Amino acid sequence: MKCPKCQRPVDHEAESCYSCGYSELEAAERYGANHVQLSRVHDAAACLRKQERDDLAEALDHLEMKFPQMLFCAYLGSLPPGVSMSELGFWLLNHGQVKGAEYARPNENAILLILDMNSKQIGVSLGYFAESLITEEDAYRALMHARPNLINAEFGEALERIFLRLSRVLRKKGRKLQKVSHQELQDQSRALNRNVLDLPPHLRPELPEKQPEIELRSA
């Protein structure tokens, strides 16, 4: 795992980044501690046509039927300079509430696509459960699969292809998990959550002095 801010490796149980001390508190300080409501496909940049929105919604319906536990959502916006997509993804998954998502689809099962129209970048933010199913390599391959559509400004079709590609990864992973026993599954979970960096627990850094202002602003 990497720190959303400095992109350096972060241990699973780290309360904050070893390098830069980044944590959810810093994200809340910057983007707000409140919860925000999102659409399943939140087109803040208004770059999707109706036909594309309909097609994408239909594809997401199929995917939700196929994977009842998973949450598929997307955020399309024109991010201002200085806003990191990884930080935004980290904050949205922890503070966002997708409309229509049942309790069976918590944000830790979410696959959030973030499309920045200014920097021409696209990224995938994964919840805890989703990142245990989808590796970074699979996610990157899915993004590359849709690159031609993104270059041709076919954003709706690009998002659909990415989701479909990721659903294929999920299907393979699901078939593998169905074959393993409960004990093996627990072993895998432990291996996944073990201390990668083998470092002592990193304590939460102290909040800066202007913390009360942030809380007031977010309130």
Partner 1 sequence: MKTTFLILLIASLPMAGLCSKVEMPEWEEPKAAASYILGGGLWPNDILADTDTGEGEGESEGETSEEASEGALATTEEGNELEKNPVAKKENLEFFGPAEGTEALAVPPPTEVARTKATETSVDAVAEEPVVEALPPLTGELKDLYFAHAPVDFLVDRQRLLTEQKSNDIKRFLEFHSDESDYHIYVFVVGETQKIPDDINLQQLHREWFADSPTVVMFYYREAPDMTEFVYNDAISSALPSSVFERIRQNCLREGAATDLAPDQVEKMAIELSIQLYWLSRLEQHESKEAQALAAETPIHELPASADAPELLREYAPGIFLEESGRRFVSMILTALLIVLVVIIVAAIGWTAIWWRNRDRYSGKPLLFPTFQVVPRLGGEFSGGGFVSMSFELHDPTR
151 binds partner 1 (CB under 8 A): yes
Supply 18's token pair: 């070893």
68 binds partner 1 (CB under 8 A): yes
Pairwise CA distance, residues 124 & 168, whole Å: 16
Pairwise CA distance, residues 130 & 187, whole Å: 18
- Provide, rounded to whole angstroms, the least separation between the CB of residue 152 and partner 1: 10
Amino acid at 86: S
53 binds partner 1 (CB under 8 A): no
Find the helix or strand (DSSP H, E) in which 71 lies: strand 71-77
Residues 78-117 touching partner 1, rule: CB under 8 A, are 85-86, 89-90, 93-94, 106-108, 110, 114
CA 35 to chain centre: 16
Pick from 19, 171, 211, 213 the residue near partner 1 by CB under 8 A: 171
8 binds partner 1 (CB under 8 A): no
Quick check: 20 and 101 in contact, CB under 8 A? no
34 binds partner 1 (CB under 8 A): no
Query: Which span (39-47, 58-66, 72-80, 207-215) binds partner 1, by CB under 8 A?
Result: 58-66
39 binds partner 1 (CB under 8 A): no
156 binds partner 1 (CB under 8 A): no
Q: Buried b vs exposed e over 144-170: b needs ≥16 C-beta within 10 Å?
A: ebbeebbeeebbbbbbbbbbebbbebb
- Provide, rounded to whole angstroms, the least separation between the CB of residue 42 and partner 1: 16
Pairwise CA distance, residues 214 & 88, whole Å: 17
30 binds partner 1 (CB under 8 A): no
Pick from 36, 185, 211, 217 the residue near partner 1 by CB under 8 A: 185
**Residue count, binding to partner 1 (CB under 8 A):** 76
Please give the DSSP secondary-structure letter assigned to residue 79.
P
74 binds partner 1 (CB under 8 A): no
167 binds partner 1 (CB under 8 A): yes
